[in-house]
A and B are shown apart, each in its own frame.
Chain A
């Protein structure tokens, strides 16, 4: 089942008189439960494409349909609401809320969606267990290592069962052991929760683990390899 459809997507940035084609006529589809990596050299348009998919930026032209909804047709507050209900984000620098504990960070989007307390707690315990941090429930981000913080960020992204998760260079700030643990957890959750994961990455470990690798160059898709 198609989760995302990208049609003739363009993103052009204008810096003084120069136009930069960050995303150049991209056409892609993503299915449910995919584990896909978008790769390419720096400046190839990976992060821009991810930002457009997440509705954080608007395309110059083209369409992004998520479950049939055209993102460019949504108004600002409706778009925020749409992101909350359909998209999970994992950022390179974790971006947890520093004043909340691991459990509260995971519950945060569920509380924005007004889940009842009991369901929130059940889901957060389930995820804390899945990411191997059930003993750090009440630890604040500052008390967690980088790898642990990124695992909490993944749990937060998955907590409200979004349609897909966008992860921008999720392993970039992690040592190799933490990165491997994180990838294993993400793959396990991808299997269990049937949630699509889309990464932008330079990390060969991510590329190795991904079941689909999309390569971008100068904003264009130059290859799209699907592995069994």
Chain B
């Protein structure tokens, strides 16, 4: 009989004990993976939101801009250097921006905002801004009108939860309002008639027009066609003020940015801030934006982007956010650590019980001629299989939830949503698809099992035959 055959038979000698132990491992792995997946998914979503709405993956800036983000730390790009940047194998395009903090006002309301002067065409290619234009808005009037239609009951009930919500994506709206693909052919035309939002992106004649975030639009109570007053400080202390027409409203996934963003064409911004030809950053549009490619690209660029300019990756650009997430991550790790500690005690309890129960059998096996090393091997396989059973079933059980949570994330509404938005976070909790964190959870559980194995192997090698046979 092969060792693994004997181990497999031993595994099922006490089915209940094996299943309870495997179940404890299963629940630990399952909860750890799901918890971790929500945690990492939320971070991932936040990073993506900030990167895609604002920072991009790599920027070239004046080296002092990060410390002191003022127009005086802007730069005029050297065409030769920019040509070289563009020729990098991972760079699709270089998108210049002029950014400044300014005061926005409408009627009696004012708000400090971030003004971003952008090249409309390049920015569209970089961040798909046109797709972020609000297409639907569930205003009070729209909801009243929709309630008198024959929309499905579920959608009618959900309308109140999403009062005043703006949507740049039809898919997201369908998800929020519980509209199935089958119902969409009937329901969407009704929504289009009653809740669609007229918007436009910058065109060639956009001088004097701005796009604003939907959060800012709600705060200032202004709409498309209204006038927005901007007042701030321009290059080298000049005063910068002007009236602009709101051409469109955009919805950004990061609520913090959505509440404070104003876009205007780059040339308009340069004129407003008396900064002709200047940019505060050049955002790079990349072909591959996984972490490795980003780092490699940054290293290549740093070889020729010289003083006073600096190359910054998204990690450097969002250092504060990363620190906050790291602090949160640690609290999550502590929770998972506690979970595994409980499991470790469970596994050790089982091992102690198993060793005590089978002491005489082990004594007999060594007496009749089974080498201790062979016995240790059988017990190791047994425990390894038991751990693996729990780990694999935990992984399998977590997959549907993790995939579902990724494609249909938990979306908070009401007070919870407001709380999230107050912290500058999108009120959604997506999961992160299986990644290296799956491997790590497996490794941690197998380390716990390995410690239990070492303990039992040690016991086997120290077995006293006479007392074992009397046990």
Contact = CB atoms under 8 A, between A and B. Distances in A.
Interface residues of A, number: 28
Nearest to A96: B364
Given A57-B466, A83-B368, 16 more contacts: A51-B465, A51-B466, A56-B367, A57-B465, A80-B366, A88-B368, A91-B364, A95-B360, A95-B469, A97-B365, A98-B13, A99-B6, A100-B6, A100-B9, A108-B368, A112-B374
Interface in B266-282: none
A16 interface: no
Contacts of A112: 368-370, 374
A131 interface: no
Say whether chain B's binding surface is mostly helix, strand, loop, or mixed.
helix
Contacts of B368: 83-84, 88-89, 108-109, 112, 156
A89 B469 CA distance: 12
Interface centre among B361, B369, B374, B465, by most chain A C-beta atoms within 10 angstroms, is: B369
B361 A95 contact: yes
Contacts of B9: 99-100
Contacts of A104: 1
Contacts of B370: 80, 84, 112
Nearest to A101: B9
Nearest to A120: B1
B206 interface: no
A56 B361 contact: no
B367 A107 contact: no
A112 B370 CA distance: 7
B404 interface: no
A184 interface: no
Interface of B: 1, 6, 9-10, 12-13, 360-361, 364-374, 465-466, 469
A56 B469 CA distance: 10
A109 B374 CA distance: 13
Interface in A74-102: 76-77, 80-81, 83-85, 88-89, 91, 93, 95, 97-100
Given A98-B13, A111-B1, A54 B371 contact: no
12 contacts: A89-B368, A95-B360, A95-B364, A98-B13, A99-B6, A99-B9, A99-B10, A100-B9, A107-B1, A109-B368, A112-B370, A113-B369
Nearest to A100: B9
A51 B10 CA distance: 28
B369 A80 contact: yes
Contacts of A84: 368-370
Contacts of A85: 369
B364 A81 contact: no
Contacts of A57: 465-466
Contact of A80 (B360, B371, B469): B371
Contacts of B360: 93, 95
Contacts of B10: 99
A113 B1 CA distance: 11
A102 B255 CA distance: 72
B309 to A, nearest CB: 70
A81 B372 CA distance: 11
A80 B361 contact: no
B469 A77 contact: no
A57 to B, nearest CB: 6
A83 B371 contact: no
A93 B366 CA distance: 16
A80 B13 contact: no
Contacts of A100: 1, 6, 9
Nearest to A95: B364
Interface string A49-80: 00100101100000000000000000011001
A109 B369 contact: yes
Interface string A196-216: 000000000000000000000
A107 B360 CA distance: 20
Contacts of A97: 361, 365
A98 B365 CA distance: 12
Nearest to A85: B369
A80 B372 contact: yes
B25 to A, nearest CB: 22
Nearest to A76: B372
A130 B1 CA distance: 23
Contacts of A83: 367-369
A81 B371 contact: yes
Nearest to A92: B469
A95 B469 CA distance: 9
A88 B368 CA distance: 7
